[in-house]
Amino acid sequence: MQNYARLIGIDVGLKRVGLAQTDLLKTIASPVGTYSPSDVFEEVDRIVEGSPVEAFIIGWPLTPNGDEGPATKMVQRFIAKLEKAHPNIPIIKVDERYTSNKAKDLMLEIGVPKKKRRQKERVDRIAAALILQRYLDEHQ
């Protein structure tokens, strides 16, 4: 029997948090938007209230050589707040190295104008979708 629920992808940054979600069949990741770190929990709550959520897939910012650095501490603080707000939804960390660069490359490939490619909000929400899609690709 099919388990109809979404996965939520999260790309945490100091200034912005990119969100993405899957369809209920968990086949494709789509960008949702970019939010300030203080406003993102309101949007996550809205998504969780609107449909079942199986798990949060969070980008884990390792250094190029695979170590944890200062950015992982920031993401861990975000995870702690998310766990407190939604204790029954599992949180899965996914290596997010180079997703911002891949997001920029993807926008170039699909013909997004240069001015729009420079918008960091756009990059962050596409990076969240790439993190989520990477998880889907590895677990299906």
pLDDT tens digits along 46-101: 999 999 999 999 999 887 888 888 888 999 999 999 999 999 999 999 988 767 66
User: For residues 59 and 70, is the Cβ–Cβ distance under 8 A?
Assistant: no
In order of 10, 22, 49, the CA distances from 56 in angstroms are 7, 11, 14
pLDDT tops 80 at residue 120: no
pLDDT tops 80 at residue 6: yes
Segments of the chain assigned E as strands: 6-12, 17-22, 29-35, 53-60, 91-95
How many residues are recorded in the chain? 140
Domain ranges of the chain: 6-138
Fold of the 6-138 domain: Nucleotidyltransferase; domain 5 (3.30.420)
Q: Which of 75, 92, 96, 103 is nearest to 8 (CA)?
A: 92
pLDDT at 119: 63
Q: Confidence band (pLDDT; 50, 70, 90) for 8?
A: very high
Q: Confidence band (pLDDT; 50, 70, 90) for 36?
A: very high
Q: Confidence band (pLDDT; 50, 70, 90) for 32?
A: very high
pLDDT tops 70 at residue 108: no
